[in-house]
Amino acid sequence: MAGTQAVFYRDVNGGEPVDEFIDALPAKRAAKIDEYIEQHLNARPPNEPPPEYPVSSQIDGELRELRVRFANTRYRILYQRSDNLIVLLHAIEKDTGAVATSDIQLAKRRMADFQDRMGASRRRPPRAAGHDAPPPRRPRP
């Protein structure tokens, strides 16, 4: 059985909010986030539990955060598993003790949308993140 594959959530208009967030960052920061996604979320055995704290932590139910630190800046990628897919739902720069309720609710709405559209008979598959992704648009440091 195949391992897990991180994919970018894609909205109905084709936007990929997590990829857009990462694209807007300086190249070294974007590269570190991409590396964390590849190292900690991709190609995990199907029955293996999620990465442990401090790399990842549970937010609410099945919603989790990938925790990336770059110098004094903390980034969080909110994600949820759907079978062998790890759906990257929302990304934030975190400056408080807890992820804001509004960010959690947004990630949950995106996951519900993902599940509704992926269950439809005609669908556009999500785009892979990590080593299976198309060539990066982000310049590498």
Of the chain, the percentage scoring pLDDT greater than 90 comes to 68
Q: What is the pTM (predicted TM-score) of this model? A: 0.84
Res 26 pLDDT > 90:
yes
pLDDT at residue 120 in the model: 67
Q: pLDDT digit string (tens) for 35-79? A: 999 999 998 998 899 999 999 999 999 999 999 999 999 999 999
- The DSSP result for 61-120, as a single string, is TTEEEEEEEETTEEEEEEEEEETTEEEEEEEEEE-SSS--HHHHHHHHHHHHHHHHHHTS
Q: Report how far residue 63's alpha carbon sits from residue 79's, in angstroms, rounded to the nearest whole number.
A: 6
How open is the CA angle 2-133-90, to the nearest 5 degrees? 95
Query: Residue 37 to residues 76, 117, 123, 130: CA-CA distances in angstroms?
Result: 11, 24, 25, 6
Which one is predicted more confidently, 109 or 122? 109
Half-sphere exposure of 7 (CA within 13 A, CB side): 22
The answer to whether residues 50 and 40 touch, using CB atoms and an 8 Å cutoff, is no
123: which residues sit within 8 A by CB, 6+ positions away?
117
Res 132 pLDDT > 90:
no
Specify the CATH class of 5-128 in words: alpha beta
